[in-house]
């Protein structure tokens, strides 16, 4: 079996990624709190996800513009556009230029590899379903010889690091600002070359490292090439949840869109009136932000934070016309959904969309949307829906991608 045909049974979830640490202990003791380093005497632990040979193939198969590849050394990036050469052999020359930079000490970064490498896409879907967060996998290929891609810095998202080839020396300098949001400038310049790290560790092939956002870090290769996965965690933060809810309220209520009284900065009476107006708006804000409604909308958002899982969907669309009452179907693996009910509708959210149906089919929809796995047919659906209705229900969710044959 070739490397790009890795078995779906080898899907990594959180448990396998951090074994032998239990997920409950990890979330309680480390998540958004402190780093976790797991050493393993298992060099091939991540071979189902990626190998050095896979990276070689991916570089050869990169698009003509190499848009997803970055080349960096000591924090300085060489734009791919500067390497590109025109003419009939431009692509080959660009690839050679990338390798030339690598041979001279630059790190090659393959961004968002989960978008085009099935084992990593399955990983992000599994993690997303378990942790209700978005995930993105970047791959860092660093040559041997104490090479360093980036200077000490922190990220504004948590990272899970899996060392798949070689080893790297990591230096951790603590978190000068706890849990920074995305808009905060990244820290790094304040760390001088003579700064003493709080922790130094060697990440060997098969090892794992978790860094909460805000932890300043830097890494260098050893005496062989290093390949590691940086799995970025894009979680929903309270600040973002509240910001989205407030923006929706601002859109619904014109009072929030009115201006502060003209000339208030030089008129104390207007300033006192502005204070009273603000008190009233704060009250409206508090009354208008239903915690239940906000969380319901956030759940709907959380089930669609990762890319759709649509392998084989073209074949499904071709076969849907041949569906019979006894044709076996199943929930599409890796799809996370959320079912909500109003007075008139039952809605299933997934793949960044919602499929709304009449409330009368709530029982049937809940059953198939929550089906744990395995095959079933239209005849297996509970409820009082007649056979044509059952067929239409399955056809709808086959076309939309929640079900597959």
Report yes or no: 139 and 172 within 8 Å, Cβ to Cβ: no
**What domains, with CATH codes, occur in the chain?**
3-234 (2.60.120.650), 238-302 (no CATH), 313-404 (3.90.930.40)
What's the burial of 306, exposed, middle or buried (CB within 10 Å: 0-12/13-18/19+)? Answer: buried
Phi, psi of 240 (to 5 degrees): -70, -40
Tokens (6 digits) for 154: 């922190």
**What pLDDT is recorded for position 3?**
39
pTM: 0.87
**What pLDDT is recorded for position 91?**
57
Residue pLDDT, tens place only, 356-382: 999 999 999 999 999 988 999 999 999
Task: Region of 50 please: left (phi>0), alpha (psi -120 to 50) or beta.
Answer: beta
**What pLDDT is recorded for position 4?**
44
**What pLDDT is recorded for position 340?**
93
**What pLDDT is recorded for position 193?**
60
**What pLDDT is recorded for position 65?**
72
| The length of the chain, given as a count of residues | 405
**What pLDDT is recorded for position 190?**
53
Residue ranges, the chain, pLDDT below 50: 1-5, 7-9
Peptide bond before 20: cis, by omega within 30 degrees of 0? yes
Give the whole-angstrom CA distance, residue 182 versus residue 175.
Answer: 15
Report yes or no: 139 and 170 within 8 Å, Cβ to Cβ: no
Residues facing residue 219 across a β-bridge: 170
Residue pLDDT, tens place only, 250-263: 999 999 999 999 99
């Amino acid at each position: 079996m070739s490397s790009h045909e890795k078995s779906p049974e080898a899907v990594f979830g959180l448990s396998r990624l951090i074994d032998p640490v239990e997920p409950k202990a990890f979330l309680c003791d480390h998540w958004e709190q402190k780093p976790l380093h797991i050493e393993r005497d298992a060099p091939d632990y991540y071979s189902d996800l990626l190998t050095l040979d896979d990276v070689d193939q991916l570089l050869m198969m990169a698009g003509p513009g190499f848009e997803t590849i970055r080349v960096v050394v000591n924090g300085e990036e060489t734009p791919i556009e500067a390497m590109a050469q025109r003419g009939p052999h431009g692509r080959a020359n660009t690839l050679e230029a990338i390798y030339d930079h690598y041979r001279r000490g630059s790190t090659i970064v393959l961004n968002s590899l989960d978008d085009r490498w099935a084992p990593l896409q399955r990983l992000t879907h599994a993690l997303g379903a378990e942790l209700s967060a978005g995930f993105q996998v970047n791959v860092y290929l660093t040559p041997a010889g104490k090479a360093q891609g980036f200077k000490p810095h922190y990220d504004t998202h948590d990272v899970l690091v899996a060392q798949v080839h070689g080893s790297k020396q990591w230096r951790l300098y603590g978190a000068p600002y706890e849990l920074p949001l995305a808009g905060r400038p990244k820290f790094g310049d304040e760390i001088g070359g003579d700064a003493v790290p709080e922790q130094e560790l060697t990440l060997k092939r098969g090892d794992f490292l978790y860094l909460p956002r805000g932890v300043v870090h830097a890494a260098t290769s050893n005496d062989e090439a290093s390949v590691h996965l940086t799995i970025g965690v894009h979680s929903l933060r309270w600040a973002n949840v509240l910001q989205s809810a407030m923006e929706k309220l601002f859109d619904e209520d014109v009072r929030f869109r009115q201006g502060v009284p003209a000339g208030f900065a030089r008129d104390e009476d207007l300033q006192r009136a502005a204070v009273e107006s603000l008190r009233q708006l704060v009250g409206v804000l508090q009354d208008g932000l239903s915690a239940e409604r906000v969380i319901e909308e956030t759940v709907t958002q959380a089930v669609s934070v990762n890319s759709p899982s649509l392998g084989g969907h073209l074949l499904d669309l071709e076969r849907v016309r041949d569906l019979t009452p006894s044709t076996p179907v199943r929930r599409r693996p890796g799809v996370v959904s959320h079912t909500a009910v109003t007075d008139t509708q039952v809605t299933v959210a997934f793949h960044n969309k919602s499929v709304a149906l009449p409330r009368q089919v709530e029982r049937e929809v809940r059953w198939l949307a929550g089906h744990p796995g395995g095959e079933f047919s239209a005849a297996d659906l509970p409820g009082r829906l007649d056979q044509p209705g059952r067929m239409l229900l399955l056809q709808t969710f086959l076309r939309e991608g929640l079900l597959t044959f």
